[in-house]
Structure formats: C-alpha cells, structure tokens
Structure 1
Amino acid sequence: MNVFAECLAHIDSPQNRDRMDEVLFWVARQFPQLKPEIKWNQPMFTDHGTFIIGFSTSKKHMAVSPERAGIVRFSKEIVQAGYECTKQLIRVPWNRPVDFSLLEQMIAFNIEDKAECSTFWRK
C-alpha cells in the first residue's frame, strides 16, 4: 500500500517494519471498505470520514488505537492476549504475536458502533 510507504520507511528495524507492513496489509485485505490514510504521521483506517483504527510504533512495541470505547469494550480480551493498554492505545510488544482475531473484533466493533457517526472521533 503506497499510502503507508513513507511511514513504514521511518521504522528503523527491518523486522518491526515487516510486522507493521503485515498488519496494515492484513487490515486492508480484511476490511477493503476502509480508507487507508496518514494523519498526524500515523497510519490509520477510516470509514465515511470517521476514525476506525490507528497504529504507531515505539522501540518496544506497536501501538494499536481503537479509541477508548474499543479498549473498554475489549479490555478483558486485551489482557488475555497479554497486552498492556492505556486509555487510548494497546501496546503489542514486537516480540509477541499479533492477535489478529482480537484486531478483527475491534475493527468490526468500531465500524458497527460508528456507522451513524458524523465526526472523526467519538463524542
């Protein structure tokens, strides 16, 4: 996906860059109706102009941001997957597998929950 090429190029570790590329490509393939975008220098996916999920990186983890409602809704599953989270993001350590089933559930939840949303963020 060319829209994310520049963002991916800034990830120093080849393994981490490949992991991020895998996740972004997976989202695009699983949810082709979502629009891939870069906002605030971060890859994200939107639906009818509203935020669905975003990603960022740090030295130790990939951050997944489904908004607070997604974190609250899936807090038990996030802990069961072995991930830490804050109010706004989930930390997926580079050395742990990505729980694609959980990711799929969070994205599907946001698409459904924000179907009538007319703003970028939930209010």
Structure 2
Amino acid sequence: MKDINEFLSNISEPAHRDRVKELFGWTEKTFPQLKVVIKWNQPMFTDHDTFIISYSASKKHLSIAPETATITAFKEDIANSGYQHTDNIIKITWDQTIDYTLLQKLIDFNVQEKLHYTKFWRE
C-alpha cells in the first residue's frame, strides 16, 4: 500500500469509505502537524516520526488505535461514548456517531505525552 487513497479504495462499502475519508479529513484539518505514513499496510498519523493514532475499517466497525496507554487513560470517556474497546483498539460500529471531542482528547494526549519521545511506539 502506498497511500491513503489506496487504503480507502479497499473499503468496499461506499458509506463506510466516505465515513473513513471524513475521519481522515477531520484529523488532517484539526492536526495539520501530523504526517500520514504507511506501515504494515496501514495508514498511521505520526508526529516527529512517532506514532500518534491510526484508523482502520472492518465489516462491522471502524477501529481507532491510539496505543494501550491512551486507551487506559481514557477508559471512562470511551465507555461514556458507548464504544467497545480492547486494550489496543476502540470499536465504533457503523451506526454510532464519531465522538470527535473524545478523539481530539486522545490525539492531544498522545502528542503531549510523546512530545520528546524518540521511538515509534511506546515501550
């Protein structure tokens, strides 16, 4: 995979593809300092070459992956938004709205927490 457009073209359901495209657009507009890179066939947003967040689509849901430390820090907010989650991802079903306020908190947290971080992932 070489770019976001290729990633988006692999989402077969047009409504899901449009929703993911909107999410990418919101992220790029809200956090213009973040760079999109493709690693492991997955688009990821980075800041100074460290991972901040990634999004992916499956048949039943949109996945938000901000790293385990971020999910742990915002577990209550995630639950209050009505989203299911694992230690690694937040699942937003296609019929749920995206809580952009929560998403902004997750990204802000990672940007601040990893401000001086020099590795891609947290250890």
TM-score, L = length of structure 2: 0.96
Deviation per residue, 1:56-108 (Å, 9 max, x gap): 11100010000001100110010000000001000011111000000000000
Unpaired runs of 5+ residues, structure 1, are none
SS at match of 1:51: strand
Matches within 5 A, 1:11-50: 11-50=11-50
2 CA distance for matches of 1:23 and 1:43?
Answer: 12
* Moved segments of 4+, more than 3 Å: none
Q: Does 1:108 align with 2:105?
A: no
Instruction: Give the match for residue 72 of structure 2.
Output: 72
1 CA distance for matches of 2:3 and 2:41?
Answer: 11
Q: CA shift at 1:3, angstroms?
A: 3.3
Instruction: Give the match for residue 99 of structure 1.
Output: 99
Aligned residue pairs, count? 122
1 CA distance for matches of 2:100 and 2:38?
Answer: 22
Residue type of the alignment partner of 1:87: D
Instruction: Give the match for residue 118 of structure 1.
Output: 118
Residue type of the alignment partner of 1:68: T
TM-score, L = length of structure 1: 0.96
Residue type of the alignment partner of 1:21: K
% identity of equivalent residues: 45
Unpaired runs of 5+ residues, structure 2, are none
2 CA distance for matches of 1:93 and 1:30?
Answer: 23
2 CA distance for matches of 1:27 and 1:43?
Answer: 12
CA RMSD of aligned residues (A): 1.1
